[in-house]
Each structure stands twice: as structure tokens, then as C-alpha cells.
Structure 1
Amino acid sequence: MREPVDLRRQRILAVVEARGCARVRDLADELQVSVVTVRRDVEELTREGRVRRGHGVVRSTRPAKEPSTDVPAEADETGVYRVGVVVPARHSYLNETLHGARTVLQEAGARIALHLAPQASGTERPLVERALAEGARGLLLAPRWRARAEEEADQEWLASLGVPTVLMERRPWRASALHALDSVCSDHWYGAHLAVEHLVGLGHRRIVFAARHDSPTARSLRAAFAEVAGAHPLVERWAWTLVAPEAGHDGPYTVQESAGLSALLAELGATAAVLHSDVDALMVVQQLAEDAVRVPGDCSVVAYDDVVAGLGSPPLTAVSPPKTEVGRVAAELLLRRLSEPQESRAVQRVELLPRLIVRGSSDRPGVD
């Protein structure tokens, strides 16, 4: 599914505002779209007065901010503090998190060096090293970590960065080398709890959970759903499967875990599904319609992420993690870390609660 135009333009605006200016060709490479597409987006943003277009470059219309008196004392020789931010490319969920972080850092007078990591494994480390070489005094990171092995491979160098670092939407496992690293995350267990309680409250007793298995969030949700649904006294049967056969990279999977959703719903007699992410959820709902499964008549659907869930037909009920707030809190935590002596720093692992937004894709079993 193509990235929505408004989200892509938000990403262009975020990069330009963070860097001051950017080349059109560089934006096309980072966003993995054509130069023509970026030019069209830049033309629209220029008409809206949000950027200025030059010969092959795009410039921010934001005036340079005077450094705030709250800026940490370790600012560079220009009086401006540099913060490196590394997030995966083409990740609409983290775009909102980035927006929250950017707002806080810009208000503090900090200069943001944004780096978008390609989808290949191991791409974050050279970007982090580049940010540090360019003078970043602190880091906000959201490594892609498709599999636990990738997280293990990153532990040693991440644990020895030597500058204040805050992970966003990444929760290191206990007793790992990164366990003592600051992190700000959504409480995905609570998100799973909201979804199950909503469906059970409508009368659903058999539920399928479908997700990717190539992200930390998907892995957290799988464990959370198993715990919540497995312990709920009113859930008669539940099962987990890949949201699409090609969505998993860790494998191997059982026949049930790689089964098509329609087939698993029929096998389980399930009347509801929780789907992660909501981009995948929109595609699954389309497939269910092709398989003559009505939503919500035959199957109620709750999406997880709420980036574009409300744009579906029907609009999808969704668990909405506090994406922007995660970025805001992470940036505030990083600024505190930069302004206090290292020996006084107590590691923080902050969890923020998602909320449920009820729309047209969930109802009582059998209701058209």
C-alpha cells in the first residue's frame, strides 16, 4: 500500500525543517520515491508557504531560533546544541513520534540532525557514527530491529556510545546490555488489553490476532495478546497468525501461524480480529471483502497503530498509541540528561498508555 500523500509531505517538511535545507534528489532517495513525486510535493508545500523552493533544493521558511536559556551548557561554539535523531525510513508511525520530538527540541533552540535508516539490517550504526562525528551531543534512536538477533548485534556499540541516548518505542529486554539505557515507549500490553476488552464487551468470544513479526512492536503485541486473551475468563478460543505470509522474517512458523486470516477465522469460528499495523489492517479488510467476509457483520476488526485506520471503508476501530507524546517525552528526557551531571542520572524507562478509538469496524456479533 502506498504511503498517503499527506504523510509523505509531512516527512519532507520534517527533514527540511530539521536540516534547514535539503536537495530534492536526496529527499527522493531517502523517501524511496521518484524525483518527480518529490517535486510535486515541494510545489504544493511551497504554495502553502511551508517551504521555499530553489534550484534543486528546498529550504525551510522557519526563522532561525535564538538559543533558549534552557539549552544545555555543552552547546557548540555557535551556541546551538546538536541532537542526532535516527529513525527508520518510510515509517509513518514514527513520523508522528518524530514530530513530537522535533517540537520540543526546536523550542529549546536545539539543532536537529535527522538521519533516516534504510530498510536493510545494520544501517543505523554508520548513521549514528556520522551524527556523532558532526557534533551531536545526544541521540534519539528508534532502531528497526526486525528480529531479536539484530538487537543483539547492536547491543555492544549502542551501550558504549558515550553520549546521552534515549530509545523511542524500543524496549530492551531485561538484563541485556541495553537494559540501563533510557527509553520511552507505548505500553503495548495495555493496548492489547483495550482491544480485547472492547471486543469481549461487544460479545465476541473467539478472537484472532494478526501481526507482522518483523518489528519490536509486533513482537511485544504478540506476547501481550497471548497473555491478555489467554487469561481472560470470557475468551473461549484465540489464535495468532501473520497478517500476511510474507510479513515474517524470523520463522519458521506453524501452519496456523502462516494461514490466511479468512481460513483461520473459519477454523476457529472467530467473530473478531485485532490487526497490526493499521496499514496492513486496511489491506486485510479489503481481502476479507473479496472473500465475502463482512466487516463488522461477520468479523469485527480492531486495528493497531491508528495512523490511517480512520480512512478505511469502513473506518477502523483502532488502538492509538501516544505516538507524538512518545517523541515529546523522549526529547524532554534527553534535554534533562544533557543538562545534569552524569553521576546524578537515574535511568528511566517510561511507558505511556494508548487509547481506543471506536469507529465503524466493530460491533456485536452478527450485526450488519
Structure 2
Amino acid sequence: MSGARLGRVLVLAAASSLVLAACAGGTSGGGESGGDATTVKIGFMGDLTGENSGIVIPPYNGAKMAIDEYNATNPKVKIELKKYDSQGKPDQATSLITTAVGSDKIAALIGPAFSGESKAIGGTLEESKIPSISPSATNAGLASNGWKYWHRVVANDNDQGPRIAEFLATAKSPKKAFVLSDDQEYSVGLAEAVTKTFKEKGVEVETDKFAKDASDYSSTVTKVKAANPDVIFFGGYYAQGGRLLKQLRDGDVKTIFASGDGSLDAQLVSGAGPAAAEGAVIACPCNIPSADVTGASKTFYDNYKKAASSEPAIYSTEGYDAATAYIKAVQAGKTTSEDINTFLSTVSFEGVSKPIKFKANGEPENNAIFVYQVKGGVLKLLGPSATAKLEG
């Protein structure tokens, strides 16, 4: 190759390198490009196609709606939402977060949605200095790991468990309770919190635990029937809860059945059958907007229904608020992971679900718990646990 020709090739190569560098520098995933970012990547991780996806699709829809609304204002820095379907499995979440942090270079994460997967990848997020905000993981122990990049916008099971136990104690004055769980992180933690509070109130408690993937609960049904409790509490998700409730009723166990936020979905009713589910009580650190709300909640209700082609459901507002916290960080010029995390330590705004502000350990300042009951085959909000009245 002649010297002149070689020179032209080198000039073209150098020009191409400059163009590629300029393109790469315009998009920030993990924050390497600093203040010149034009796009910030935020991930959403949770069960989007698995058996308990009914709890996770609403917060995903809420998060997507918030980000779509923000991007529609044509901001200088846009947000790209990347979804990671863990199906609620900790091992799957572990694999996905490697991709999210590595090749995808997300700057922050909404999720994981469930407690087990949150525990599984929390250390990786911490080591990678990637902030996370879960819209729905409630296991109390998650706040005890010393993680500086972890946050959630919902009350934990040490708030939820005692409140639902206190509500049931007031409503039914039980002498004996039977507390059930499967072997998932969330289920065990919530059941333990409920058991502890019942015992503190002088209620005799029997317990039983079964495998997450079990389908035949006849052994548990036999134990519950023999105990003849005044209340039954199940600390788990609706997929298992619906099957359990059906088999309890088929076994002629008519005792009032209660559960936590993992069961707050219409599929609890369809899984058990409307007749079996009637009267079931579900607690949740979430206040789901209905058609008759007013103000900001009404605006959210209308916009969500239009965007998602469905009414708001469990944690749809929490997903929206988690995304909004990140949006406010980006609006403040925070586009790197560490800058976003620093911003979260001081963020404070009136969310759709509740006022959003984080404690030093990532917990939300607001820890309200609400009670719902299945009436006429649908979930009806009874109100805050301190003032709600059981119907029937």
C-alpha cells in the first residue's frame, strides 16, 4: 500500500472512530458518560409471565406510564425502560442482573418485585453501585443488609403482619389461629410476623408449611380441620393461596381466611372459586385507586386505564411512584448511578400511592396498611387497618 493511500485510510479510520465515540458518549447506561447523557437506561425486574405475574404487571404498567409521560415532554435526557422477566425466580433474577448491569448498562432498577429475588441480587446491585427501588418486595430482612443502594416504596412485613393480625384480633376475637405458609422468602417472613403478633395478644397459634410447588394440600387441610381455629392466615401469593383456599373449603373448613398483599389479585378468587373466596380478607401496604376517587388519584386512574387498557391494580401506583423518583433525579441532572442514588437520599414528593421519602436504610417513611375483603366475587377496600370494619 502506498504512503498516500495509507494516509487516506488512517484519516478515514480516525474520522470513523470519532463518530463512533460521539454516538457512544450520547447514551448513558451505567453512568460512564456523566452529564452529557441523552438517554438513561432504567430496568424493571419481576415476574411478568409466571404464575404470580398478576402482582407485577400492574407496577410495570405504572412505571412505564410514568416514563412515557416524561419522555412525551421531549426532555433533554430521555429514559429508556428495559424489562427483565424473572418469573419471580431468584436464580433467574441472578442471571438477568448480570446482563442488565453488564451488557445493558442500566443506571438504576425498579424492582425486583418479590422478596426472594430481591435478596438474591441485592448484593450484586450493591457491588455494582446500581440503585434499586422495589414497588412490592416486603420481606423485613431486606432492610437489614446494610445496602446503601436499595430502596422500596412499600411497608415491610413487620408492619403488614402485625397490622393484619391486630385487625383480625379486633374483628373476630380469636382464641386460636392457624398460620400457614409455603417455603418462599416472602411467605415465611409474613407468616412469622403474623404468628408473633397473635401470640403477643394471647392467641394460641398452630402453624404449617408446605412446598411452593405443591398442588395437594390435603395434609395441611387435615391439620387445620383438626385444630378448629377461629381464623386462618396464609402468608403467600395468590397462585398458592387460591388452590389452598379451594381445598380448605372442599374439606369443609369454613373458618375465615386471611392473607397478605401477595394474594391481593382477582386470581385468588378465580383460583379458589367465587363461593370459596367469599369473605376472604387481604391486607396490603397499597391503596388502589377506584373509579370514584378524586384529585390526583382520579387523574392517575383515568390515565392508567387508558394506557394499560385495564383498571389500576395492586402496586400500580407504587410502580408509578418508583419511576417518578428516578424521573425527578434525571430532571435534576443526575444521570449516573451514583448521582441518582445520592439524589434518592433526599428526594421527597407527594406520590400517587403515598408521600415518597426514604429512610437511611432505604425503607419508606410512610408505612400505612390497608384491608380488603372479597365481596360478591370482587376485592373491596375496607380502609386503613386501624379503622376498617369487617363485612359479614
**TM-score (normalizing by structure 2):** 0.58
Which of 328, 338, 351 is matched with 2:320 structurally? 328
Aligned to 2:110: 140
SS at match of 2:56: helix
1:1-368, aligned counterparts within 5 Å? Answer: 79-89=38-48, 90=50, 91-109=53-71, 110-118=79-87, 121-132=90-101, 133-142=103-112, 146=116, 151=119, 154-170=121-137, 173=142, 175-178=144-147, 181-200=150-169, 201-215=171-185, 217-233=186-202, 235=203, 237-242=204-209, 245-247=210-212, 260-275=219-234, 276-293=236-253, 295=254, 299-304=255-260, 305-308=263-266, 309-311=268-270, 312-313=274-275, 314-315=277-278, 316-322=280-286, 323-338=315-330, 339=332, 340=334, 341=339, 346=345, 347=360, 348-350=362-364, 352-359=367-374
Q: Aligned-pair distance for 1:186?
A: 3.3
Aligned to 2:305: none
Q: Aligned-pair distance for 1:228?
A: 1.3
Q: Aligned-pair distance for 1:229?
A: 0.7
Distance 2:284 2:63 in 1: 18
**Closer, same or farther: CA 75–137 of 1 in aligned 2, 3 Å:** farther
CA shift digits 1:164-209 (9 cap, x unpaired): 3323433554552525522233333343334323433223321111
Contact 2:130 2:149 in 1 (8 A): no
Q: Aligned-pair distance for 1:126?
A: 3.7
Contact 1:206 1:272 in 2 (8 A): yes
SS at match of 2:252: coil
**Closer, same or farther: CA 212–334 of 1 in aligned 2, 3 Å:** farther
Distance 1:224 1:248 in 2: 23
Contact 2:126 2:150 in 1 (8 A): yes
Distance 2:173 2:344 in 1: 48
Distance 1:144 1:194 in 2: 20
Distance 2:80 2:44 in 1: 10
Contact 2:41 2:107 in 1 (8 A): yes
CA shift digits 1:209-259 (9 cap, x unpaired): 1122213x21331231122111114x2x112222xx32289xxxxxxxx99
Contact 1:74 1:81 in 2 (8 A): no
Contact 1:306 1:318 in 2 (8 A): yes
Contact 1:186 1:353 in 2 (8 A): yes
Distance 1:190 1:100 in 2: 24
Distance 1:334 1:130 in 2: 21
Q: Aligned-pair distance for 1:336?
A: 3.5
**Closer, same or farther: CA 353–283 of 1 in aligned 2, 3 Å:** same
Q: Aligned-pair distance for 1:75?
A: 8.5
Q: Aligned-pair distance for 1:345?
A: 5.0
Q: Which structure's CA Rg is the greater one?
A: 2
SS at match of 1:220: helix
**Closer, same or farther: CA 335–163 of 1 in aligned 2, 3 Å:** farther
Distance 1:129 1:187 in 2: 27
Distance 1:203 1:88 in 2: 37
Distance 1:146 1:134 in 2: 23
Q: Aligned-pair distance for 1:270?
A: 0.7
Distance 2:159 2:146 in 1: 26
Letter in 2 for 1:287: Q
CA shift digits 1:26-75 (9 cap, x unpaired): xxxxxxxxxxxxxxxxxxxxxxxxxxxxxxxxxxxxxxxxxxxxxxx968
**Closer, same or farther: CA 289–75 of 1 in aligned 2, 3 Å:** farther
Distance 1:121 1:192 in 2: 23
SS at match of 1:185: coil
Contact 1:83 1:137 in 2 (8 A): yes
Distance 1:76 1:140 in 2: 23
SS at match of 1:114: strand
Distance 1:288 1:137 in 2: 46
Structure 2 gap segments, 5+ residues each: 1-32, 72-78, 287-314, 346-359, 378-391
Letter in 2 for 1:328: Y
Aligned to 2:385: none
**Closer, same or farther: CA 261–74 of 1 in aligned 2, 3 Å:** same
SS at match of 2:153: strand
**Closer, same or farther: CA 111–208 of 1 in aligned 2, 3 Å:** same
CA shift digits 1:310-333 (9 cap, x unpaired): 553243332234222322222222
Letter in 2 for 1:224: A
Contact 1:319 1:354 in 2 (8 A): yes
Distance 2:56 2:142 in 1: 21
